[in-house]
Amino acid sequence: MRRNWDAIWLVARREFTDQFRDWRIVVPMALLVSVFPFIADDTTRQAVNFMNRFGGDLILDNLIPFAILVIGFFPLSFTLVVALEAFVGEKERGTIEPLLSSPLEDKQLYLGKLLVGIATPLVFSYLSMGIYLILVSRRDVQFPSLYMLALIFLLTFAHAVLMVSSAIVISVQATTIRSANLMASFVVVPVAFLLQGETILIFWGNEDVLWFAIVAVTLLSGLLVRLGLAHFKREYLLGREIDNLNIRNVYRVFRDRFVGGAKSFADWYRVEIPITLRQLKQPLAIVIVLGVAAIFAAYAWVVVNVPAYIEFSPERAEDFKSFVENNLVNLDQLGSQLPAPLLFFYNARTTVVFLLLGLISFGTLGLTLYLFNFALVGGVLGAAQLIGFSPILTFLVGVLPHGLFELTAVVLATASMLRVGAVLVSPNTDKSIGETLLLSIADWFRVFIGLVVPLLVVAAVIEIYLTPVLIKMAFPFL
């Protein structure tokens, strides 16, 4: 362990020396750190005066934490270029060969570059935030608590790790500094949107809500670091001089993976689909356990907590039952208002959205939406319990008939999506990130076309034409 850290520090010290003797890095950042806090302080003064004149205590109370978060973000975005040039910059300057020929291990090279990439922007960000706090302490405004400041500093650290780890991955994959800088927007823009979401948490939530953002960003950052380490190989840096987008080759690789060794459609179902399902054993187990846990957790939460906000007296429960009974006639018109093909389209689109969100978050966002959908089932059953309906019978007639197919389809799609993220962060130096991603997406489409689509078709037909009939028949017994 000590030898590993000594080797990592050797690379990091070399990077620190190169960066802090380059005036083109130090001077702009020094100007940004010394000027931007004063601009933010003046903006705070004007905002405070405006709020005092026209009201807005909620905004005024959270203005300082918001400003600190923004001030910490700007140095991170400007110094991102340092991380983007970590490997591709050395390659263009002709200094990569001596570094790669050293006896250092691949992970030591990578972590050394990553350490410097994180430390440099954090130094400037924390310095800028500190200057702003000194300036704003002279104002007649509500100063954030130490707990709130600690959360914001932790969130800034998580942002730094997220942005730098993304930039290092780009630097390894890029062949020129120009291409790396162009791809920087894929780092800055998503984090800027993330910052807007965190701003909403600051203004409309409480301090503890920020822990969700810290945990989420830290988890994503850890997965990005894992992604870089899993696919970093020094020979890969020396072996590529130019990237070519070969659409024909991409299609061929995707087709070969999707079709496999099948000679016919029936052969594909008989041979290739079982192979793919065997690969999903562990993701399926994880997804099923989490889904069932989400149903029971949501059910318990509704039963325990909702009565504290809504009074469910016997008279009110009867009113709810009468309302439901009076609206049962609308179930007969469900097929005309929501045709089965349209419902199928909505459900299929949702599974594709799960995949897209999973691709940008290594499966975490897609899994979150999956858990939310299963929690809705538990919430509905909990509400049925509070009204006076039997949750078991409600599940059997209102959820199970179409849910047997629809929930199975969602479970399969989510497990396949989760495997895409897991494969990306698994060590595999034989394939590039792009090739690994392409093969994983082909596996996902195998499951989607072969299993999910047929299941969703059956589920849509049952949900529109059979489930309403069962609900009307069973309502007197609920």
pLDDT in tens, 75-93: 888 777 778 877 777 777 7
The answer on pLDDT for 285 being more than 80 is yes
Task: Mark out the alpha helices in 338-452 (DSSP H runs).
Answer: 340-359, 364-387, 391-398, 400-424, 433-447
Name the 3-class secondary structure at 141.
coil
Who contacts 396 (Cβ-Cβ below 8 Å, separation ≥6)?
A: 474
Q: How many CA atoms lie within 13 A of 123 on its CB side?
A: 13
What six digits make up the tokens of 357? 């969100």
The answer on pLDDT for 113 being more than 80 is yes
How far from 415 is each of 140, 303, 354, 399, 401, CA to CA, in Å? 54, 29, 11, 21, 22
Name the 3-class secondary structure at 95.
coil
User: If you average pLDDT over each of 180-184, 231-235, 276-280, which comes out highest?
Assistant: 276-280
Q: Which residue has the higher pLDDT, 87 or 163?
A: 163
Q: How many C-beta atoms lie closer than 10 Å to residue 319's C-beta?
A: 12
Confidence of residue 451 (pLDDT cuts 50, 70, 90): very high
The answer on pLDDT for 328 being more than 70 is no
Give the span between the Cα atoms of 111 and 226, in whole angstroms.
11
342-364 pLDDT, tens digit per residue, is: 889 999 998 998 888 888 888 88
Pick from 123-127, 316-320, 331-335, 380-384: least confident? 331-335
Q: Which residue has the higher pLDDT, 221 or 311?
A: 221
> pTM for the complete prediction?
0.81
The answer on pLDDT for 371 being more than 90 is yes
Confidence of residue 374 (pLDDT cuts 50, 70, 90): very high
Who contacts 108 (Cβ-Cβ below 8 Å, separation ≥6)?
A: 4, 7, 8, 11
The 8-class DSSP code of residue 85 comes to T
pLDDT at 408: 94
Give the span between the Cα atoms of 94 and 177, in whole angstroms.
13
Domain boundaries, the chain: 2-239, 247-477
pLDDT at 455: 95
Stretch 456-465: mean pLDDT: 92
Counting residues of the chain whose pLDDT is more than 90, the rounded percentage is 18
Q: Which residue has the higher pLDDT, 325 or 60?
A: 325
Q: How many CA atoms lie within 13 A of 373 on its CB side?
A: 21
Q: 158 near 223, Cβ under 8 Å? A: no
Confidence of residue 407 (pLDDT cuts 50, 70, 90): very high
Q: 316 near 386, Cβ under 8 Å? A: no
pLDDT at 450: 92
Give the span between the Cα atoms of 434 and 457, in whole angstroms.
32
The answer on pLDDT for 251 being more than 80 is yes
pLDDT at 296: 95
Pick from 54-68, 71-85, 183-197: least confident? 54-68
The answer on pLDDT for 456 being more than 90 is yes
pLDDT at 226: 87
pLDDT at 263: 84
Cα angle, residue 167 at apex, residues 166 and 172 outer, rounded to 5°: 100
